[in-house]
Chains A and B, each alone.
Chain A
Amino acid sequence: MKYTQGKYILVSKKTLAKEIYDFEILCPDIAEVAVAGQFVNVIADGYTLRRPISICGIDKEKGTIRIVFEVRGKGTKQIAKINEGEMIDILGPLGKGFPMDDYKTAITVGGGIGTPPMNEIAKHFGENCRSISGFRNAAAVILQDDLKSFGAETILCTDDGSMGRKGFVTEALKDEVNKKKPDVIYACGPNVMIKGVVDIAKEAGVPCFISLEERMGCGIGACLVCACRTVKNGEEYYAHVCKDGPVFNSEEVIF
């Protein structure tokens, strides 16, 4: 099985920050095959389109996955209404994850709600991972204890300096790369941030994998709505974020 769709039990629901929810879903068939960087497509009751949400945690023993999402509009607001013990309809795991096996040391860069997909990477690399995360302010900070629990070194930035280092993640990334070059950099967050990370990685000659967002229909590669401009072997073409991504080699993406 690559992916499946069904209604699964929401076994735990937490609030991590204002309007940011942490769901643990019992879905052994999905948990068994899921890898870091993949996503699930979630039903928002009453809406035509499913909402893509990254997988933040995978517990193969318990048969659960974890998703962390922010209420952004009507659909995520509806999903946030699901209570512990109720069913959540998901299709997943979808897309290609982060390639990790070829590398020993990593830096992850998560911007805001782009932090959740970094969690499973930190789990994989453990002490060989430095996790940079950036948030608007102290109230928006999430997942730092999770990242630490795997042994990763966390570097926290806030725009207003209310917690951690004041300023953007890209500045922190520059410092970390200068301190010691990692084998690989992973990033997820707003496009401007990703663009900045990609430039730094390129300059340092470090491979970089980024997780992109695009509006989706089917979520599995059939409808071609989630196009993203990429280039491979000198040829430009529209790749599809749901199937060819959401994780891309930064060299292939045209910003």
Chain B
Amino acid sequence: MADLSVKVAGVDFKNPVIVASGTFGYGREYEELFPLSVLGGISTKGTTGVKRTGNPSPRIAETPSGILNSVGLQNPGIDYFIANELPYLKTKDTTIVANIAGSTPEECAEVAKKLDSTDVDMIELNISCPNVKQGGAAFGTSCEGAAAVTRIVRNATKKPLMVKLSPNVTSIVDIAKAVEAEGADAVSLINTLLGMRIDINTRRPILKNNVGGLSGPCVFPVAVRMVWQVANAVGIDVVGMGGIATYEDAIEMMMAGAKAIQIGTVLFNNPYAAVDIVNGMNEWCDKNGVRNIGEISGTVKKW
């Protein structure tokens, strides 16, 4: 048995498989299927300063090898999260990453500040939600905006801070460098890619929000490329995600430079995907003489 434990920005994860924000709720539903303790970590549903109702339905459309979603950050708000979800999650013997968002940098900072006095393990600041007018995309897609929100959130909390980046930018590397310079301890990428589908019979977009975020296996090569570029450009840890569906994908993402990985959309197809990926990684390590999974991060040898 290989050692699957990894560290991201000093935070311990028992294995590199973290379930991605927004696809796993607060864990209660998946717990019917397997104990949450098998997970490396849980990134909880994006939480804002005040409760949000989200966008009208339909909020999901299938695409070849993927989906579009336009949930729009529906969540009960940070106070509810801290009072009702976090204490429960903290009993589950896995690392808890609180994913946060806000309409303004100040809202993000307020949420981070409230989390500072809790025992959450890490904060993931989402500056990249494409589904609300001000879901972060407004300030997450320019270097100045990304730097500014990172600075104010950094000042609001001593918790390890991971900033989640949008792929809907000209240079994700520049954004990563900008948030690193402002004190982010890690970056996670990628959030969803903005997309659209149209029902040709009704000539209407399938999503009520017209546009939505693309995720699932179709985005995997884009995600691998971005993780590779960012990991080569920053000194802080990188968590990779976007379309990972198998343990082979997870290992590929780590070789590209990720210290840990997140999975989301695959859970809708295979709710046990996290368990399968952890088991697959274990066997792969044993077969390939890898004693510690962390060894493989960033080991791709470029041509």
Are B54 and A222 closer than 8 Å at their CB atoms? no
A221 to B59, CA, bound (A): 14
- Given that A48-B269, A218-B29, A218-B267 are known contacts, is A224 also in contact with B71, CB under 8 Å in the complex? yes
Are A222 and B23 closer than 8 Å at their CB atoms? yes
- Given that A227-B56, A237-B53 are known contacts, is A1 also in contact with B32, CB under 8 Å in the complex? yes
The B-contacting residues of A in range 194-253, CB under 8 angstroms, are 214-229, 237-238, 243
Residue of A nearest to B267 (CB): A218
- Contact string against B for A residues 134-166, beta-carbon threshold 8 Å, 1 for contact and 0 otherwise: 000000000000000000000000000000000
A47 within 8 A of B: yes
The B-contacting residues of A in range 79-98, CB under 8 angstroms, are 91
The A-contacting residues of B in range 191-238, CB under 8 angstroms, are 216-217
B66 nearest CB across to chain A (Å): 6
B81 within 8 A of A: no
The B-contacting residues of A in range 92-109, CB under 8 angstroms, are none
B223 nearest CB across to chain A (Å): 16
- Given that A48-B216, A215-B58, A224-B74 are known contacts, is A243 also in contact with B29, CB under 8 Å in the complex? yes
Residues of B close to A218: CB separation below 8 A: 23, 29, 267-268, 271
Are B53 and A238 closer than 8 Å at their CB atoms? yes
A50 to B23, CA, bound (A): 15
A49 to B62, CA, bound (A): 7
Are B23 and A47 closer than 8 Å at their CB atoms? no
A5 within 8 A of B: yes
| Chain A: interface residue total (CB-CB under 8 A) | 31
Are A215 and B32 closer than 8 Å at their CB atoms? no
A4 within 8 A of B: yes
A187 within 8 A of B: no
Residues of B close to A34: CB separation below 8 A: none
A82 nearest CB across to chain B (Å): 17
A72 within 8 A of B: no
Which among B32, B269, B272 is the interface contact of A43 at CB below 8 angstroms? B269
A53 nearest CB across to chain B (Å): 16
- Given that A223-B71, A226-B57, A228-B57 are known contacts, is A50 also in contact with B269, CB under 8 Å in the complex? yes
Number of A-B contacts (CB under 8 A): 100
Residue of B nearest to A1 (CB): B32
- Given that A49-B62, A50-B269, A227-B74 are known contacts, is A222 also in contact with B24, CB under 8 Å in the complex? yes
A222 to B216, CA, bound (A): 17
Residues of A close to B61: CB separation below 8 A: 215
Residues of B close to A223: CB separation below 8 A: 22-25, 69, 71, 268
Residues of B close to A3: CB separation below 8 A: 32-33
A75 to B63, CA, bound (A): 12
Are A48 and B32 closer than 8 Å at their CB atoms? no
B236 nearest CB across to chain A (Å): 29
Which among B63, B66, B217, B268 is the interface contact of A50 at CB below 8 angstroms? B268
B65 within 8 A of A: yes
Residue of A nearest to B215 (CB): A48
B177 within 8 A of A: no
Are A238 and B217 closer than 8 Å at their CB atoms? no
Are A225 and B29 closer than 8 Å at their CB atoms? no
A180 within 8 A of B: no
* Listed residue (A1, A49, A50, A226) with the most chain B CB atoms within 10 angstroms of its CB: A49
Are B272 and A5 closer than 8 Å at their CB atoms? yes
A221 to B67, CA, bound (A): 17
Residues of B close to A215: CB separation below 8 A: 57-61
Residues of B close to A18: CB separation below 8 A: none
A251 to B71, CA, bound (A): 25
A179 within 8 A of B: no
B88 within 8 A of A: no
Residues of A close to B71: CB separation below 8 A: 223-225, 227
Residue of B nearest to A4 (CB): B33
- Contact string against A for B residues 240-275, beta-carbon threshold 8 Å, 1 for contact and 0 otherwise: 000000000000000000000000010111111000
Residues of A close to B28: CB separation below 8 A: 221
B117 nearest CB across to chain A (Å): 27
The A-contacting residues of B in range 119-156, CB under 8 angstroms, are none
A227 to B24, CA, bound (A): 16
B159 within 8 A of A: no
A214 to B59, CA, bound (A): 9
A228 to B57, CA, bound (A): 7
A177 nearest CB across to chain B (Å): 31
B164 within 8 A of A: no
Are A225 and B60 closer than 8 Å at their CB atoms? yes
Which among A1, A49, A75, A224 is the interface contact of B268 at CB below 8 angstroms? A49
Residues of A close to B62: CB separation below 8 A: 47-49, 75
Residues of B close to A220: CB separation below 8 A: 29-30, 32, 271
The A-contacting residues of B in range 63-104, CB under 8 angstroms, are 63, 65-67, 69, 71, 74
Q: Can you list 8 residue pairs at the A/B interface with Cβ under 8 Å?
A: A2-B32, A3-B33, A49-B67, A215-B57, A217-B268, A223-B22, A223-B69, A229-B56
Instruction: Give me the 7 closest cross-chain CB pairs, A-B, nearest first.
Output: A222-B25, A225-B60, A220-B29, A225-B59, A222-B29, A215-B58, A217-B268
Beyond A43-B269, A217-B60, A224-B22, 9 extra complex contacts between A and B, CB < 8 Å: A3-B33, A48-B62, A214-B57, A215-B59, A220-B30, A223-B268, A224-B25, A229-B56, A243-B29
